[in-house]
Amino acid sequence: MDRRQFLRTVGASALAVSTAAVVGSRPATAHPGPFEPLGRIDIDGAKEAVVSADGETVFVAATSGYAVVDISAPDRPELLAERRDPLSDREDGPFRGLYDAKFDGDTLLVVGPANPIPGAPAGVLVVDVSDPANPDEIAFHETGFPIHNCFAADGRAYLTANDGDRNPLVVLDIDSGDELGRWSVVDVDDRWADVPPSMRSVHDVWVHDRVAHVALWDAGTWLVDLSDPASPSVLGAVSPGDPEEIAALTPRGRNRERRTPPGNHHYVATDDAGDLLGVGVESWAIEVDRDDGTTELVGGPSGVELWDVTDPANPERRSTIEPPASPDPTLGGVWTTAHNFDFRDDRLYTSWYRGGVKRHDVSDPTDPVELAWWRDPERASFWTAQYAYPFADEGVFVASSRGVDDASPALYTFPDHAGNQRDPPTLGAEPTTEPLVNTPTPTTSPSGNETAAPASETESSTSTTDAPGFGPGAMPKRPIMTAMNSTPVSS
């Protein structure tokens, strides 16, 4: 049964209307039957997933390598190829800590390590995937800095270069490995140099028409024209923050600021036209002491903000898609904060770690409508959700899960229409305190930003190398000296 036959059959019975839309949203279109995955395939170490142009092949960054999956029959995803421990023939190999991959034409880029690994290779593995079942590793562009995320378009690689100093976005020529240019928020305003690098980490990047949308954690999201990478031009910024106020925070205040909202710009993507920008905010709660001897949680998970960037110099927030509630929103608890997502036409596909995956109608960005939500918090912690392909009756989107405890990481396929999950599981035990997340009034500067966290916070401060979104110790303790070096890879 091919994908069209399969989905016509499933489409008649698989789904139901979502009644869990965001507050104030319009009702979703009804479909009979429960909303549930079409298929699933285990992939050890699964992280980011990207889809080929025809929508039938998914490439998965898998920590110790990468995998290629055929989803042309979405109920039976098939592993076409799996490559583990690339560059293992090198003295410093293998290439590992691979969390991200991106696709450009017939070329796959696999980047890493996501976080610094002393003595391990760091850079861009260039793979010819014109025959997806037989990926051909053709070059490795060594960077000298870890790469948590990247973007690929028009023969260029856009790399997050958290060097523990300026934390630039670096642009490479994919074929030659030559550096074409770089941009740092420190170039715009040298006051950002006084802000700890972990608070302005370059976490992710999205490029549309050679405009880079750069997520810089507590430094916000910056829109940079890279038509000429050697001469970047800033077009605008979303919630950039004040570098002097951030720099003035105490170590404890910095710890609080890095983990809790606002700020925490983690992932960004635009719609097809480039006019609607989604900003994914990744955050948690921390426990603080009250004056009466009890404790409360400050902060919590965050969602996806929708911004109109038709005029990049004057972005306007249209709405925010709120995250699922968590029974324990701390860093060590049940994560339901926003992670990676994808726009296609008037739809938005989102992932929320153990909070599941969702599908929204964003044709009216001021009033997003939740169309479907599926979660399995005991088995699945979703890293991304990506549109795959359409046809007359139905469509498919995919989502990768990093797994939970003993449950295997995996790639899931889902039907692309509205529906309710049958008997949806809870996300954990009900909280024992009310409210679960309560933000007390902080000590503020005249502009309203915290300059010193309350002295009674029980959460100890961490070094500036502890960067949420990356993991403890993710930011280099001292600046990394960068030198590009490109080498062919033996087949």
Q: Predicted confidence band at 462 (pLDDT cuts at 50, 70, 90)?
A: very low
Q: What is the pLDDT of residue 291?
A: 86
Half-sphere exposure at residue 323, Cβ-oriented, CA atoms within 13 angstroms: 30
pLDDT at residue 174 greater than cutoff 70: yes
Is residue 263 a contact partner of residue 239, using CB atoms and an 8 Å limit? yes
Q: Predicted confidence band at 438 (pLDDT cuts at 50, 70, 90)?
A: very low
pLDDT at residue 335 greater than cutoff 80: yes
Q: Predicted confidence band at 394 (pLDDT cuts at 50, 70, 90)?
A: confident
Mean pLDDT of 22-27: 36
SS3 246: helix
Q: What is the pLDDT of residue 390?
A: 72
Number of helices followed by number of strands (H, E) in the chain: 4, 33
Which residue intervals of 131-250 are DSSP H helices? Answer: 185-188, 243-247
Instruction: List the structure tokens of 98.
Output: 């691979």
Omega of the bond prior to 196 within 30 degrees of 0, cis? no
Average pLDDT, the chain: 86
Q: What percent of the chain has a predicted confidence (pLDDT) above 70? A: 80
Q: What is the pLDDT of residue 328?
A: 95
Residue at token pair 């409508």? 369
Mean pLDDT of 21-47: 72
Mean pLDDT of 398-421: 96
pLDDT digits (tens, 9 = 90+) for 336-354: 999 999 999 999 999 999 9
Q: What is the pLDDT of residue 289?
A: 85
pTM comes to: 0.85
Q: How far apart are CA 437 and CA 26, in angstroms?
A: 28
Q: What is the pLDDT of residue 450?
A: 33
pLDDT at residue 12 greater than cutoff 70: no
pLDDT digits (tens, 9 = 90+) for 355-389: 999 999 999 999 999 999 999 999 999 999 999 99
pLDDT at residue 478 greater than cutoff 70: no
For residues 322 and 4, the model is more confident at 322
Q: Which residue in 185, 98, 109 sits closest to 153, CA to CA?
A: 109
- Please report, for the domain that includes residue 335, its CATH number: 2.130.10.10
pLDDT at residue 7 greater than cutoff 90: no
Half-sphere exposure at residue 193, Cβ-oriented, CA atoms within 13 angstroms: 7
Q: What is the pLDDT of residue 27?
A: 38
The total number of structural domains in the chain stands at 1
Identify the DSSP state of 457. Answer: B
Q: Predicted confidence band at 43 (pLDDT cuts at 50, 70, 90)?
A: very high
Q: What is the pLDDT of residue 308?
A: 99
Q: What is the pLDDT of residue 486?
A: 67
Is residue 40 a contact partner of residue 357, using CB atoms and an 8 Å limit? no
The domain of 87 spans: 3-488
pLDDT digits (tens, 9 = 90+) for 44-80: 999 999 999 999 999 999 999 999 999 999 999 999 9
Mean pLDDT of 289-293: 87
pLDDT digits (tens, 9 = 90+) for 232-268: 999 999 999 999 999 999 999 999 999 999 999 999 9
Q: What is the pLDDT of residue 83?
A: 99
Mean pLDDT of 284-300: 91
